[in-house]
């Protein structure tokens, strides 16, 4: 039986945790002992060990059995999580004896989640028994995680602040993602179709904080003005809500257009604005990881199948 680590490096016997949980389920020590095939004294000793470990009584006796104290109730939720993880670990270890599980750790900017999902579907049959974990973050934080070995592949963009050339990184261009302007369906320009960015100089914008709004800042600078960001919001759902309510307008990558609310309208920019989307992997580690190599190939296929934009 595996042991579970609790705070300060001390151990808690998971057998005692299972007994504690069964006492709660059965409502008495005797019924729990019968269900688990232990003696009552064995169950009592296990509960006493837990009470010593945590320095608080976990059960209180009453006429028809026992009930949890406040401390016992607090422990119950944690015990359920610990025992579930132990069960999962035992299941995975058993499965690994027959078929090794390959892990693929993927990171991506928020707007690329759909691209990652499509690529996973495409690569699912290429490498068997792959378990994928996904981390959503921004380019400046994803690149160090690739170098540190925390991620196998990351999907990033050149905003912000661009991708530095580094010999240990393999950078694969996936697509040039068009950027469009999004306004409320009730906005005076909602039916216009195409707009010159300079004509939006007096508009309020909903965007990330100024330092992170690289695409907007650079596009507006080329159009001859500095955007007024009245609402700083990094959440895609939050941005849409503010724009739909008329609190401002925003730029959005074409990759996210399929997820727009129906009460929003798209304006194509007269002077096209694009951002580049890349797959980044560590050169040495990817060479020894068939799953990572297959996934990068799948990303290229998924990017090729993605619509090119307006």
Residues 170 and 282 in one domain: yes
Q: Cβ neighbours of residue 235 under 8 Å, at least 6 residues apart? A: none
In-domain check, residue 164: yes
Q: Cβ neighbours of residue 5 under 8 Å, at least 6 residues apart? A: 11, 12
Mean pLDDT of 159-186: 86
d(CA 139, CA 107) in angstroms, rounded, equals: 9
**Helix or strand holding residue 104 (H, E):** strand 102-108
Residues 164 and 219 in one domain: no
Banded pLDDT at 9 (limits 50, 70, 90) = very low
Residues 165 and 127 in one domain: yes
Over residues 174-232, the pLDDT tens digits come to 999 999 999 999 999 998 999 999 999 999 999 986 656 778 888 999 999 999 999 99
In-domain check, residue 83: yes
Q: Number of folded domains in the chain? A: 3
Residues 229 and 157 in one domain: no
Residues 238 and 259 in one domain: yes
Among the residue ranges 48-52, 103-107, 192-196, 306-310, the one predicted with the least confidence is 306-310
- At residue 127, the pLDDT reads 52
Q: How much is the mean pLDDT over the chain?
A: 87
Mean pLDDT of 165-169: 83
Residues 53 and 144 in one domain: no
Q: Which of 241, 232, 180 is nearest to 211 (CA)?
A: 232
- Checking if the pLDDT of 7 tops 50, the result is no
Q: How far does Cα 13 stand from its chain's mean position? A: 32
Residues 8 and 92 in one domain: yes
In-domain check, residue 310: no
CA dihedral 31, 33, 34, 36 (to 10 degrees): 120
User: Residue 55 sits in which domain range?
Assistant: 4-98
Q: b/e string for 100-115 if b means 16 or more Cβ within 10 A?
A: eebebbbbbbebbbeb
- Checking if the pLDDT of 297 tops 80, the result is yes
């Amino acid at each position: 039986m595996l042991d579970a680590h609790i705070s300060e490096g001390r151990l808690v016997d998971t057998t005692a945790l299972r007994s504690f949980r069964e006492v709660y389920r059965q409502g008495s020590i005797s019924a729990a002992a019968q269900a688990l095939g232990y003696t009552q004294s064995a169950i009592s000793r296990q509960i006493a060990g837990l009470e010593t470990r945590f320095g608080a009584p976990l059960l209180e006796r009453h006429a028809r059995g026992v009930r949890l104290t406040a401390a016992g109730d607090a422990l119950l939720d944690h015990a359920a999580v610990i025992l579930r993880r132990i069960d999962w670990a035992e299941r995975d270890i058993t499965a690994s004896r027959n078929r090794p599980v390959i892990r693929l750790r993927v990171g991506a900017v928020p707007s690329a989640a759909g691209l990652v999902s499509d690529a996973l579907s495409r690569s699912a049959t290429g490498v068997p028994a792959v378990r994928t974990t996904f981390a959503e973050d921004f380019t400046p934080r994803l690149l160090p995680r690739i170098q540190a070995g925390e991620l196998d592949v990351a999907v990033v963009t050149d905003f912000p602040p661009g991708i530095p050339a580094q010999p240990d990184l393999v950078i694969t261009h996936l697509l040039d993602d068009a950027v469009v302007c999004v306004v409320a369906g009730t906005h005076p320009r909602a039916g216009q179709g195409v707009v010159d960015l300079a004509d939006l100089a007096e508009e309020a914008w909903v965007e990330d904080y100024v330092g992170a709004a690289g695409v907007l800042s650079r596009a507006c600078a080329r159009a001859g003005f500095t955007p007024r960001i009245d609402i700083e919001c990094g959440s895609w759902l939050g941005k849409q809500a503010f724009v739909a309510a008329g609190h401002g307008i925003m730029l959005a990558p074409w990759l996210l257009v399929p997820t727009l609310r129906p009460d929003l309208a798209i304006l194509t920019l007269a002077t096209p604005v694009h951002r580049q989307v890349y797959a980044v992997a560590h050169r040495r580690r990817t060479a020894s990881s068939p799953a990572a190599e297959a996934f990068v190939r799948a990303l290229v296929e998924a990017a090729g199948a993605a619509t090119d934009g307006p």
